[in-house]
Amino acid sequence: MKKTFFLKYQFFIITVAIIFWCYLLGFDFINPLNSEWLYLGDLSQYQLGWKFFREDIWRFPIGSNPNLGIYFDGSIIFSDSIPIFAIFFKLIKIFLPENFQYFSLWILVCIYLQLFFSFKIIFKFTNHLGYSLIGSLFFIFSTIFLNRSGIHLSLMGQWILLSGIYIETISNKRKSLYQILNILLSVVIHFYFTIILVLFYIFIKIYDFFKKEINLINVIKEFFLLIIPIVILMYIVGYFTIQLDDGLGWGYGYYNFNLNSFFNPLGSNNFEVFNWSLFLPIQQFQNGEKEGFSYLGISGIIFLFLFIWNLFYKKYEIFYSNRKLLFISILFIILAMSHKLNFGKINILTIPLNDYIYLALSSFRASGRLIWPVYYLIFIFGIIFIFKSFKNKSPSLIISLLLLLQIIDLYPGLKKYKLGSQYESISQDNEIKDDIWNNLSNSFDQIRLLEPQNNSRIFHKMSKYLQTENFKKTDISYLARVNRESIEKEKYNLIKFFNEKNLDIFDKTIFVSDNENYVRNLRYLYGESLNYYYTDKLWLISSDDIKKKEASKKKKIAKYAMINLDKKNSINFSSEHLQIAGLGWNNSDHKSGNIMEGYLSTILFKIRGKNCQTKSLIKLDIEKFYKNLLPIELTLILNKNQKEEIILNNNNQEFLFKFNCKLDSINTIDINVKNPKSLFDLKRSLSRVKRSIILNSITISN
């Protein structure tokens, strides 16, 4: 009898899972040998994480993945490549085709387990096969589940939350062990699930303590029995390849839950914003609150009202007392909202936070995701409530009608996820297209950025290309967490090596840049020792020539800025003369001038015009980047021979150089700073970018 029952519900769940899998991905994308859909947004980082992890040797921690993001200290954790799958498939990689991807299989597993655990929960309280199977369908149509299928594939593993809820429903001496094992499993899926499950566990223990169902000693004991294996597993799989403070990220209070999120059908994927609902209009969010997206649908809203009504009238208790359920739900809602209480575009309340409290909360910066357990509790409660209320009045018919109503309401959103449409895009101009790129990994082991950065514009332009090549290492990558200090050190070390004309860093390595100023500076330093190619709006720089017919046509010289003294002699960095800035400058977030980053920077220019004289003056208008900071120690070197040691005391100062003006000579001003500071140094932020001065203008006069 038990075997027959098992076969019945398993046949239903497996069949529905496969059908829904085909609907979500289409017949092309379910193929594990097809990675054509893994190029958009965050999807590319998942596949690249797996690609480089698979080709690397085994290391310890076992999730270490240093070849993707050479100096990022990355691991398979931080590319969100679903560690449990990555590790398993790396173990059997000898049997896998070269172009294998496991993400389509992951989606199938998620759909199946989403159905399985929701069925188990519902059946636990209804003991009705048909009703439980119908009720489980609500969970694969969950907006929060489907939303992640086009954006964050690892976060489709929401079945781990349902598994945690199911464990709470069982009465077994091994219940605590099951809870710990479930949380440990979440560690090798995605850390946000670990956070949610640990919070769930803690909230229950706190409630039981206040109800005097457990004493404080046992609470502390159980907490450590939970945390110790979690930390050990995190260490083994690679969570601590970076420093603890690098695990913190900006966004708490931005990626939060809005009070209208349960009723707001405003959805989005990688291409567009759309309305999930056939019946309800789109409402507004604050910026960033799409992370708290949790539209319930019409039937879900009905379940929410039943959920609230029952809390007050206490008709049923479903695996928790009403007070316990309310306690857990309110705590998750508060954390999901962060310290900001928003309704639509209106900020009702913002609670000031101590810096250290804000820092601690930054460990789950996308706090809006913490609404997920409440979302699922609403559906679980509503479905079971309907059964108990209509137990003798065809509950299966009623729940079927509510399911139909839910699907009809969600139909506009469901269309956006039909047959893999959430992964298909029209080819754009910013993609790599030129034949010069083909098979570069046959000649170069590494492809790198001239300006080290995580999640750069160049990564999004080249992510598809990187998947088709076989470079051994690259720093053109996007990881969720990185070693911030290491990236900045590498950036400044590269500038130092370039100024020393070091050719070793180009050995079997090709550099990529979209910054012509940097390329111009390299040309000045290295001359013909390097090769420069310009294609697809990117520069390729290498010491080895690219031996292709296409390459000879792509060679280009980065022209130096020409200052015409017949017209004007004042150069303002906010105007057309930005190109005189070379290595070590950034003007992306300052309106009036160029910001110096790091320890070394260079300005390069040529002069033309009859006003060019041998006794000219150059005046530099410089200001401190951080006002009222300690004095800044500068060394200014004009044309490699005139050197001035300067201490910048005031916020703004001007400095003069005598200048022998020569037509068409390349003029340089090198600036060395001994004591640049980062916001991290100043204990204001986690940013390690070291800044010192802003160069507002240069004036050349007789």
The greatest distance separating any two alpha carbons of the chain, rounded to the nearest whole angstrom, comes to 103
Q: Name the DSSP letter for residue 393.
A: S
Please, where are the H alpha helices in 100-190? 103-126, 129-140, 143-149, 159-169, 175-187
Instruction: Note the pLDDT of residue 222.
Output: 87
CA-to-CA separations, 325 to 200, 204, 217, 656, in angstroms, rounded: 11, 9, 24, 72
Q: Which positions ≥6 away from 435 have C-beta within 8 Å?
A: 548, 550
The answer, yes or no, to whether the previous bond of 61 is cis (omega within 30 of 0) is: yes
Q: Which domains does the chain have, with CATH numbers?
A: 2-30+102-420 (no CATH), 435-554 (no CATH), 562-701 (2.60.120.260)
Instruction: Note the pLDDT of residue 568.
Output: 61
CA distance 145 to 28: 22
> Which H or E run contains 701?
strand 691-701
Pairing between β-strand 446-449 and β-strand 509-513 as defined by DSSP bridges:
parallel
Q: Which of 182, 199, 345, 322 minimizes the C-alpha distance to 259? A: 345
Residues of the chain short of pLDDT 50, as ranges, are 576
Query: CA quadruple 443, 449, 452, 457: dihedral positive or negative?
Result: negative
* pLDDT tens for each residue of 453-484: 999 999 999 999 999 999 999 999 999 999 99
* pLDDT tens for each residue of 482-521: 999 999 999 999 999 999 999 999 999 999 999 988 999 9
CA-to-CA separations, 232 to 187, 227, 300, 520, 530, in angstroms, rounded: 11, 9, 39, 49, 48
Task: Specify the amino acid at residue 685.
Answer: S
Instruction: Note the pLDDT of residue 213.
Output: 79
Instruction: Note the pLDDT of residue 613.
Output: 67
CA distance 539 to 519: 8
For residue 686, list its beta bridge partners: none
Instruction: Note the pLDDT of residue 229.
Output: 96
Instruction: Note the pLDDT of residue 320.
Output: 79
Q: Which of 563, 551, 550, 597 minimizes the C-alpha distance to 695? A: 597
What's the residue count for the chain? 702
* pLDDT tens for each residue of 518-577: 999 999 999 889 999 999 999 999 999 887 766 666 676 666 666 666 666 666 555 545
CA distance 186 to 362: 20
**DSSP sequence for 273-321:** EEE--SSSPP----TTGGGG----HHHHHHHHHHHHHHHHH-----SS-
- pTM (2 d.p.): 0.93
CA distance 18 to 97: 23
Q: Which positions ≥6 away from 438 have C-beta within 8 Å?
A: none
